[in-house]
């Protein structure tokens, strides 16, 4: 069974898969749709939540530089995603790309890694949602007890501490609500996505536009706080670590690469969509981080709702903006929770259909026609993590999982160029192998900047995945069975 760990799903098999699904997908996405899709996926908990945490614990006001570092890594990886999407236009994203380039074992690593990303990603966004909902209800005079709206634990520079809280109930609630909707069957249209994007961008522009007048330049001094003597705590190492943490703010941009099959002109529009959405969001992120750290000292931003804290610190003149910001954040974060839970359940579903996970994960509901088992399992675990753990820990786990996927996809592009040089590519990543090598190195550097504890948790997660693969997946792999039957 251990033989042929790197058996590949051939491009012919993938093409058959694409052929079977092409009738259900129409080429109706133009360049504007694609850019808005990218912006809609990118803007979420990263900007509304993790910016404050990363500034307070790692980079200070220089978190603006951290965003630029992360955006550069995303751009390099995004170009690799664009080429894969143009030649492998099927569901599965990086999991499918890995299966086609480096084989089943690497595909399993990516798939299991994506589960880490989406599972903890939805939990992270749920905690951010809780912070804004609690703050908004407080503005209305409804003050929830801290014991049911905070994590029982908190992690800061001094380590782990008990908060005295029991559970973060609002975070559990939003996960349960979105899970229920996904089981019943909910469909997001392009128009709905455009409305959400409009709300998010309007809220951010209002904060930037009206917040500039309240900037206190003393809060930017020093712009790069001196390193404390410990790696990742301010200084340039803190900027790098901050970039790794806020990398979470960019997850979702690669969803643009999965629209190749539905794009009217994928060769032109998908690469521009990736680049355009990244540029737009990077500019917004840098501006928000500068205004936020200018209004309130970075040491006060280690909270689930940092933009709300900044508005409150600005005084009465910005109080009118507070409910608008919070409503926009709540609406935007709600959709992100749902999309991440949806993506997680579909990864489970794809892996089950390949035989790498239990058959029950590939079942659909007899009435609703949704992968209800995977949705419920995902929702239960996401609710558990959201209810118990602090946002900083969850965000770091998502970031390291995403960065690992980017490294593998970047290397996979070089491998596929060697193995399948003559396959038609509607879009070709420029300057190969320089771009993918740089992409892998930048992502590896950001991974290296994350705390040791985050690496230990990643290795622990991977160890669980290896146990499942070698005790179940390797024995039930459909590609492996087809290979054996051909011998």
Extract the tokens encoding 361. Answer: 């994960």
- Residues with Cβ within 8 Å of residue 244, at least 6 apart in sequence: 70, 396, 399, 400, 403, 446, 447, 449, 450
The reply to whether the predicted model has a pTM over 0.85 is: no
The helix-helix angle for 235-246 and 63-87 (nearest 10°) equals: 40
Mean pLDDT of 258-281: 74
pLDDT at 238: 93
Can you tell me the distance from the alpha carbon of 275 to that of 379, in angstroms, rounded to the nearest whole number?
32
Can you tell me the distance from the alpha carbon of 216 to that of 363, in angstroms, rounded to the nearest whole number?
56
Average pLDDT over the chain reads: 82
pLDDT one-digit tens code per residue, 95-143: 877 887 888 998 899 889 888 888 888 888 898 889 889 888 888 888 8
Can you tell me the distance from the alpha carbon of 340 to that of 207, in angstroms, rounded to the nearest whole number?
26
Four-residue CA torsion sign, 23, 24, 26, 31:
negative
Give 189's pLDDT tier (boundaries 50, 70, 90).
Answer: very low
């Amino acid at each position: 069974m251990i033989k042929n760990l790197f058996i590949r799903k051939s491009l012919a098999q993938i093409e058959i898969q694409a052929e079977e699904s092409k009738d259900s997908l129409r080429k109706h996405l133009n360049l504007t749709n694609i850019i808005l899709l990218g912006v809609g996926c990118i803007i979420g908990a990263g900007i509304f939540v993790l910016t404050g945490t990363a500034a307070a614990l790692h980079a200070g006001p220089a978190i603006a530089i951290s965003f630029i570092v992360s955006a550069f890594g995303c751009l390099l990886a995004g170009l690799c995603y664009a080429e894969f999407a143009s030649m492998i236009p099927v569901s599965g994203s990086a999991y499918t790309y890995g299966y086609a380039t480096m084989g089943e074992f690497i595909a399993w690593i990516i798939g299991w890694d994506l589960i880490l990303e989406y599972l903890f990603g939805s939990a992270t966004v749920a905690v951010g949602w809780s912070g804004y909902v609690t703050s908004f209800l407080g503005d209305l005079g409804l003050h929830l007890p801290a014991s049911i709206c905070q994590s029982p634990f908190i992690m800061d520079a001094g380590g782990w501490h008990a908060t005295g809280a029991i559970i973060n109930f609002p975070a559990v609630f939003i996960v349960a609500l979105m899970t229920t909707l996904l089981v019943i069957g909910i469909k997001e249209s392009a128009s709905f996505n455009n409305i959400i994007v409009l709300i998010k961008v309007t809220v951010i522009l209002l904060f930037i536009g009206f917040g500039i007048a309240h900037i206190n330049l003393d809060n930017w001094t020093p712009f790069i706080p001196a390193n404390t003597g410990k790696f990742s705590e301010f200084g340039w190492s803190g900027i790098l670590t901050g970039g790794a943490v806020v990398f979470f703010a960019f997850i979702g941009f690669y969803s643009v690469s999965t629209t190749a099959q539905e794009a009217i002109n994928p060769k032109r529009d998908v690469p521009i969509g990736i680049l355009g959405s990244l540029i737009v969001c990077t500019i917004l992120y840098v501006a928000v981080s500068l205004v936020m750290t200018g209004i309130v000292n970075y040491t006060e931003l280690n909270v689930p709702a940092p933009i709300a804290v900044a508005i409150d610190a600005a005084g009465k003149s910005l109080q009118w903006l507070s409910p608008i910001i919070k409503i926009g954040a709540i609406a935007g974060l709600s959709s992100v929770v749902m999309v991440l839970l949806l993506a997680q359940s579909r990864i489970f579903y794809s892996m089950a259909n390949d035989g790498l996970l239990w058959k029950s994960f590939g079942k659909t509901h007899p009435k609703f026609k949704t992968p209800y088992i995977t949705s419920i399992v995902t929702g239960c675990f996401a609710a558990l993590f959201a209810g118990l753990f602090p946002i900083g820990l969850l965000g770091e786990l998502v970031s390291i999982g995403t960065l690992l996927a980017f490294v593998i996809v970047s290397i996979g592009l070089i491998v596929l160029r060697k193995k399948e040089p003559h396959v038609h590519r509607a879009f070709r990543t420029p300057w190969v192998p320089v771009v993918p090598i740089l992409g892998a190195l930048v992502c590896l550097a950001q991974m290296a900047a994350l705390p040791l504890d985050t690496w230990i948790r990643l290795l622990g997660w991977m160890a669980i995945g290896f146990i499942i693969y070698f005790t179940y997946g390797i024995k039930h792999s459909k590609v492996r069975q087809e290979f054996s039957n051909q011998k």
